[in-house]
Every structure is written in structure tokens, then in C-alpha cells.
Amino acid sequence: MTTATHGTLSFRHAAFRGKIGIASGDITPPVGIYSRNWGAAVHDVAESIHRPLTLTALTIAPLTGEPPLVLIDADLGWWRSPELFPRFQQRLLDEFSLDSSQLIFALTHTHAGPPLLESAPGLPGIELTQDWLDKVLSVAMASVRAAMEDAAEATLEWHTGRCGLATTRDLPDPEPKSDRYLCGFNPEGDPDDTLLVGRITDAHGQLRATIVNYACHPTTLAWENKAISPDYIGAMRETIYESTGAPAVFLLGACGELAPRYQYVGDTTVADAHGRELGYAALSTLSGMEPPAQQLAFMGAVTSGAPLAKWRHQPREASQTLVAVQREVELPLKDWPSAAELEEQRLACTDRALEERLRRKRDIRLRLGDGRTYRLPLYVWRMGDAVLVGSCCEAYSVLQQELRKRFPNNAIICMNLINGTIGYLPPREHYDLDVYPVWQTPFDRGALEATLEALSQEIHDILLT
């Protein structure tokens, strides 16, 4: 961000200085576990491992010794059983004496892992799921504990780059006389290509970790894939680590309508290519940053063949402000059948793909209850000059684009699918279209806009602290 303070013009990265720790663990499930995520899939269980699934814990605390904020980045898809995440959440809050605002459990949203599902008797391979879920929780606790022990003085700085991996995936059906939209690459789309990179350096300026905040559905691997995989995120992490020697954390952005151009394949090399594309873009952004804990300051004019502006690096003090809040916004719900009625429809259904769709719809209804509105939790963290926001929904990218326009002097990290899973947040005008995110979501027209205004107010307020 560029600032002018007391007549001094400078360029500085949004930054925070405090105690930061990081630790990772392996959450790869066994071959043979139930892993059907696609209605079109003809298989039910995983037959191989493409890349391991990883869980990473990041702890962020003030230098003054207060309890940390805990951010977990896990290679998981979405929470299917309504009661599962609240149980995970409560165990972690109790174990580390945290308030609910201090914990963010973020999913990378891979579509090539086991469903986060418990009560589903009769599904092939489901008998392996409970032990695996226990492992995920155990690794989460161990990783948070290790990150707390690893915590040391560090600076977290943010810089904006670009990556062309994400494309618009709302495609008007090319078939004549069709009014529906397909969920796939739209060559005429205008996707948000914003890439936000966080750099964590220690007190000596050495790189400790990289954070990548990017909006793109991990849907490279689809119904033909029979391997457990983190999708493109695995190769992204590997690419960054090979170059820097430091781990990379992935934070999924507001990607409701964004996905790779080439997707829905069974070839894992395509996912790896996508991951390298994002990894190289993140490395490019990282290379374009100013030195750690420094700003670029205007030092005056120099007369040469032209009047030249002289800029030089100088030390800067990063903000130590760290605040976490949790708020709610009341959103309208569609007039869906009750969970019991949806279960009756599912049991009577003989179409494999439709039965899967009804199962998911039933689970969402169970999560929301049978009311006409839902109070959606919103999470807002201020880390110095940066603000992280998110919810358990899948917002369209207009949410992050608009927030960044409204707060241009701050790094705004937007996240989907944190602390639970419910449904999409499409723009108001999309409710006039026959498009998947609109008929998937339980939220009615105007939900995204209400969320945007609520987050704007919370960002405004937290920046005054």
C-alpha cells in the first residue's frame, strides 16, 4: 500500500508483527475408504493415493503474551454430517482454551478426498471413515500444540499478485433453445485473478512460511478419478517448498464461480500442472516483495537528463494489533422441504446421481433447521494492516472484489468454507438464471449482498480498534 505520512511518500506492505508458529501433519486416509464425491462417479472407494493430504496449523499471537489465534488449513472437501464440525470445533476450543472467534478451521475443498461423513450405514468403505476422522482430529490437536511450541517473533507481510489458473465456470448451455447454465469453463468470462501472498519471516529476516490466498475450485479431478488427492494444492505447496525451503499454507478465496479452465478429469498430472502454475505465480509475487520489515520511501528529486524520483529502502515498524471477532448476519432461506421430506424423496429415488443430490440437500436442511432465516456466523480477524474475513459458505468472487475496492489501503484476505459448510452465495441477479449454485444453495436472493454489507461494517469497525 502507498501512504503519505507527514509529507513523506512511501510504499509498504500490509504487515503484522507478533509471535507466529507453524506445524503440519499427515491426514491421508487408507485406500479402500468411501470417497464418492461426484454424482456421475461409478465407483465408491479410493483405489490409490496421488499425493498425501496435509493439515497445517498456524498460530498468531501478540508479543505481549495473550492467547493466540489458531488457523488450520486442511486438505478436506466439505462437512457432510451436520453435527461433525461442531464436535471438532468444540474439542479444539476446549483443548486450547479458545473463544470461538479465535479458531478458523479452513478446508482446501479438494473434491478427491473422503467425504466428511459419519452416519451413512451401507456405503462401501464407510467403516474406515470413523477411524480416519479420529486421526484428522488427533493430527489437528497435535499440529496446533506443535505450532504453539514453535511460536517465535515474526513478521507477516502481504503482497498482491496475479494468476490465470481460475476461470469463470458459469457457461450458458450452447445447445439451441436451452436456458440452463452448465458448470464449466466460459471463454467469455471475466474471472478474478487476484492472488494474495503472505510472507512470514523471523526476527532475522529469514523466510519461515508462505501463505497463498487464491480463489479457484479444486475440481480438476472428478468422477473418473479414483485416487485420494489434494488436487492442485499439493503441487502448489511442493513447488513453493522446493524453491524456498519453507512450508506453504493455502487459504481458499471466494471462488463460487471460479475453477480451472481444464477440469473434471481423472489424470492426476493435470492437477499437478495446475498446482505448479499457482506455485510459480506465488513465487513470482514473493520475489516482487520489498525486503522484510522495510518500506520503500521517497527521498526527493534528482536532476539528471530528466527530473528523477529517488526511492530507497528504510526500516519500518509493523503493526502489532491483533483482534478477532465473530458476528452473525441473518440471511433469508428458500422454501425448501423439511429434512424428513427430503429423506423420503431420497429413499424413493432410483437415479444414482439424483440420490446423491438429495442426500446433500437433506444434510444442508438438517444443518439449517426448518426455519425461514438463518443466522450465518462471520469471522473477522485483524492482523496489523491486514483483515481476514470468511464464512462457511461459498461466496462468488464479487464479494472479495468489492471488499478490496472498499478498503484499498488494507490487505483483505477473503475465505470460503471456514468453520463449517452450508451452500453458495450467488449474486442477486443470478437468481433469474438456471445455474447450479442458485439451485444448490438454501439461501434466497439477496443473501450475498447482506453478507457483503455485514462484512464491510465489521471491517470498518475492526480497523478502528
Tens of pLDDT, residue by residue over 59-79, are 999 999 899 999 999 999 999
pLDDT in tens, 335-349: 877 778 778 888 888
Give the per-residue pLDDT at 7.
52
Q: Are 320 and 384 in contact (CB under 8 A)?
A: yes
Residue 321 in grid coordinates: 494489533
d(CA 131, CA 155): 38
Average pLDDT, the chain: 94
pLDDT in tens, 364-387: 777 787 788 999 999 999 999 999
Percentage of the chain lying above the pLDDT 70 cut? 98
125 pLDDT tier (thresholds 50, 70, 90): very high
Give the per-residue pLDDT at 406.
98
Residue 6 has pLDDT above 90, yes or no: no
For the entire predicted model, the pTM comes to 0.95
Out of 3-12, 32-41, 190-199, 294-303, which region has the weakest mean confidence (pLDDT)?
3-12
* Range 133-145 average pLDDT: 98
Give the per-residue pLDDT at 446.
98
Percentage of the chain lying above the pLDDT 90 cut? 86
274: left (phi over 0), alpha (psi -120 to 50) or beta: alpha
pLDDT in tens, 33-61: 999 999 899 999 999 999 999 999 999 99
Sign of CA dihedral 337, 339, 345, 350: positive
40: enclosing H helix or E strand:
none
Q: Where are the domains of the chain?
A: 11-292+377-437+445-462
Q: HEC states along 158-216? A: EEEEECCCEEECEEECCCCCCCEEEECCCCCCCCCCEEEEEEEEECCCCEEEEEEEECC
pLDDT in tens, 233-261: 999 999 999 999 999 999 999 999 999 99
